[in-house]
Every structure is written in structure tokens, then in C-alpha cells.
Amino acid sequence: MTFAKTAATPQIISVIQGEYAVSDQPNVTMSTVLGSCIAACLYDQNRRVGGMNHFLLPEAKTGDGQNVKYGAYLMELLINDLLKMGAQRHHLRAKLVGGGKMSQLLGDVGAKNIEFGRRYLINEGIPIDWESMGGVQARRVHFYPTTGELKEKFVQNDAQIDKPAVVARRPKRQSNVELF
């Protein structure tokens, strides 16, 4: 977990698998690279605070539920820390990214992550403003937590998968998302 509280110098926080970060500083950019993992980017534009997590798997099947690789645990940590920084639950909005099918050999972990991310946010009453999930390419994501702006770039990978890239992009409302 990272809390960004710095001066006006631009700062990039790398959010890797099993991590999350929150910030209320306008100079902060959160960055990650995703394959089958999901990044949930949550923000409260009224309070100008936001955060990103990066989860590997949806949820534990047994007693390992407080493991940072699981979305259920990281979502809870992210939401709680945003609330501690002044976000109001009823103002939280979400953007979901990732969930690609990166290998034929590993099954479709990405699809399970996608289903979990959507279901979790619906159950928590947090609207999804925008999502870019699925397909067969990795993504590089930059998220600006105080504005909710998100930039996404598809990354070419060396693995060839039989299916063409199909990405489900679903803007829910006018959104400040830019592909770069």
C-alpha cells in the first residue's frame, strides 16, 4: 500500500500485483501493466481522492482470504483507505481494466477476474463509469487519482493466441479516458 503525500513534483507510483495505492495529490500518477490481472481504479471527484489496486485472482476458496493477491481483499483495503482519506462512499466511481486471456495453457483467469470485479462493485453500490477488459493483449495503465482520468495503451506480446483481439469497452457515461 502506498499513500502519496508529497509536494508538487510529479510522482509516478507503480502498482504491481498484490498492491494498491491511494492519493489526494494532483501531481500523482498511478501506473501498472496488466495481463489477466485487473486494476480497479476508484475515485471520488468531489473530494479529489482516488486509488488503484492490482489483483491476480478473484477470491480465495479457503481460509486464505486476507492474501493480497486476491481481489476481494485488495478491494476492501482500497475502499477503506479511500474513506480514511476523506472519500465518501456514495461518491465513489470506478474504472476497471485488464482481464486478458494471456495463455491458452492457463485457462481463462482473466474472465474470472472480470466477472468478480463487476460483481464486487455492483454489490458495493459503486458505479462503473468505464471498463476495458478481455482480449489477448497486455495493457499499460496510467490513472490520475484526483480527477479519475485514465490512459490505456495496449502492449504487444510475443505469445500468439488463436483468437483475434476482442476487447469489451463499455463507457457508462461521458468519461475522461484517453487511449495513448
**Which pairing describes strands 128-134 and 167-169: parallel, antiparallel, or unpaired?**
antiparallel
Neighbours of 135 (CB within 10 A): 22
d(CA 42, CA 59): 19
* Type of residue numbered 169: R
Selected residue with higher pLDDT from 21 and 105: 21
d(CA 104, CA 6): 43
Answer whether residue 16 shows pLDDT above 70.
yes
Cβ 34 vs Cβ 100: under 8 Å: yes
Q: How confident is the model at residue 59 (pLDDT cuts 50, 70, 90)?
A: confident
Grid coordinates representing 74? 485488495
Answer whether residue 179 shows pLDDT above 70.
no
| pLDDT tens-digit series, residues 113-164 | 999 999 999 999 999 999 999 999 999 999 999 999 999 999 876 554 444 4
d(CA 101, CA 110): 6
Q: How confident is the model at residue 107 (pLDDT cuts 50, 70, 90)?
A: confident
| pLDDT tens-digit series, residues 28-43 | 999 999 999 999 999 9
d(CA 74, CA 19): 7
Q: What is the CATH class of 2-179?
A: alpha beta
Answer whether residue 64 shows pLDDT above 60.
no
Residue 160, pLDDT score: 45
SS3 letters for the chain? Answer: CEEECCCCCCEEEECCCCEEEEECCCCEEEEEEECCCEEEEEEECCCCEEEEEEECECCCCCCCCCCCCEHHHHHHHHHHHHHHCCCCHHHCEEEEEECCCCCCCCCCHHHHHHHHHHHHHHHHCCCEEEEEEECCCEEEEEEECCCCEEEEEEECCCCCCCCCCCEEECCCCCCCEEEC
Mean pLDDT, residues 83-112 taken together: 92
Residue 31, pLDDT score: 98
Residue 176, pLDDT score: 64
Lowest mean pLDDT among 6-10, 39-43, 46-50, 91-95: 6-10
Residue 84, pLDDT score: 98
The model's pTM: 0.81
